[in-house]
A = this chain, B = another copy of it.
């Protein structure tokens, strides 16, 4: 176990009452706890301003989970303390909570879940810049995440290059044909067996133990809520990627999903990506959702489009890879001009 560094940062658990999420359609709370990590020098140098990075949790997670205690894996604050002690530039880290009843929002606005993109971009950024000594500029603001959080980071950076100057995407959702589509028939069977999506979700929520099949189904429901919301659809205002009565795949819904695929979005966002000082992505070559293939295709297209980037692979699967932040956070700090 690594020696605890002498100097360490502070975590503030911000209780944020969101207007964007008030009365959201999924019935989720609009008051969220947002951990903010302040680096070791924050208190010691009361006039110094710092770059800031937003860290987005993966599916079924939220910011607080990045602070969880676990054997052989540091919570993010101790990880950052250790990295800083090793020369990484000091940054403020903000850990939003965009969890929903469906397990997550993909950090997007949706009529089915709520305005999570607005919450992140329109609310949290000014709140953090107003309350904490961030540098407050786009040049000193980055975004990162893993899995659905990696997706969120990459998509938000592409959509808001005026807000973010650097992005790190770990095992992020992309190439939806490879990462989600194979689960559509499983979703269909699971939900049909339960008697429909509302009956299934209710039963899921009532079960103390959540099974892998259920989590796979929940994942697809969350993606439908994020990518193909439809206020007229019953239940939950969501168009599903399959017809539950016939079991048939719904191409027209799928095309709406693909509009949100980073592999699609890159075509119209290359200009945004070129303005970024860091485009970092990595993925394990045994990723159970085939995200390493998506990352390779995304990186290949970046190359073709002349977008500077870093694309790394490592020999592991999708789960428990927080150790990859050891690679990305120092790069992010450097790109945002953080001083050691």
Contact = CB atoms under 8 A, between A and B. Distances in A.
Interface of A: 1, 4, 28-29, 60-62, 64-65, 67-72, 99, 101, 103, 175, 177-178, 181-186, 188-189, 193, 205, 208-210, 246-249, 285-286, 290, 292-293, 296-297, 300, 316-317, 320-321, 323
27 contacts: A1-B29, A1-B101, A62-B69, A64-B69, A65-B70, A68-B70, A71-B99, A71-B103, A175-B185, A177-B249, A178-B184, A178-B249, A181-B182, A185-B293, A186-B290, A188-B293, A189-B285, A189-B290, A189-B293, A208-B320, A209-B316, A209-B317, A209-B320, A209-B321, A210-B320, A247-B296, A247-B297
A175 B246 CA distance: 12
Contacts of A321: 208-209
A7 to B, nearest CB: 16
A182 B183 CA distance: 8
Nearest to A218: B71
B316 A72 contact: no
A323 B300 CA distance: 44
A205 B293 contact: no
Nearest to A215: B71
Contacts of A323: 208
Nearest to A101: B1
A246 B320 contact: no
B185 A290 contact: yes
A181 B249 CA distance: 12
Given A185-B293, A189-B285, A246-B300, A210 B177 contact: no
Given A61-B71, A71-B103, A193 B285 contact: yes
Contact of A292 (B189, B293, B320): B189
Given A175-B185, A186-B290, 10 more contacts: A1-B29, A1-B101, A68-B68, A188-B290, A189-B292, A189-B293, A208-B323, A209-B317, A210-B320, A247-B297
A65, A69, A317: most-surrounded residue (chain B CB, <10 A): A69
Nearest to A178: B185
A282 to B, nearest CB: 13
Contacts of A71: 60-61, 99, 103
A186 to B, nearest CB: 7
Contacts of A210: 72, 320
A253 to B, nearest CB: 14
Contacts of A186: 290
Given A65-B69, A68-B68, A246 B208 contact: no
